[in-house]
Amino acid sequence: MLSIVVSIAAVAISLISLFVSRRKDRRDVFLKLHEMLISPDLQNGRRVLFQLHGGAGRIEDLSPEDYAAANRALAAFDVAGLYCHKKYVSQDEVIELWAASLTRMKYAARSFLDHRDAFWPGVPTWPYFRRLADHAEERLRAQGVDITRFTAPTPPPPSSSPGPS
């Protein structure tokens, strides 16, 4: 009888340990994903896409560096969407932090997405980003957020003025 109790206790401890470990692993993946998304390189890629959406040039006129930065920014959001889809991270947590950015990117990147989709007709580029951005927009709408401010082109940042002379 004692061996059965010890066995049950061992199984219970193992299950609790597994649960705690899985939760910690998911948290670590989420933090690494978040750190990646806030990296200066990906912020620059998002800025390039916002500027394109604002009418500052054409995709064909982007420098190779800006094109690659925009591409990486969308690819990173696609990875975030894949991680949510595979449940490596909580989609609710990702959307809680990134809903506004995802929704803005959905509209700002439309021409870039169309450009990339033209390379592989019938196969949408970055499907996990698109799905995640749709969910983010749905969440914002459910919260009563006016989405039109996310769909409009982003005004350019103010130019820095020289300091006092």
pLDDT reported for residue 165: 40
| Confidence class for position 160, pLDDT limits 50, 70, 90 | very low
pLDDT reported for residue 149: 83
- Rounded to 10 deg, the angle between the 40-53 and 64-85 helix axes is 110
pTM of the model: 0.78
66-72: which pairs have CB atoms within 8 A and are 24 or more residues apart? 69/41, 69/42, 69/44, 69/45, 70/45, 70/109, 70/112, 71/45, 71/116, 72/41, 72/42, 72/45
Average pLDDT over residues 83-93: 96
Tell me how far CA of residue 75 lies from CA of 9, 15, 79, 137, in angstroms: 45, 36, 6, 19
| Domain boundaries of the chain, sorted by first residue | 26-151
pLDDT reported for residue 163: 45
DSSP state letters, 60-122 = GGS-HHHHHHHHHHHHHHHHHHHHHHTTSS-HHHHHHHHHHHHHHHHHHTHHHHHHHHTTSTT
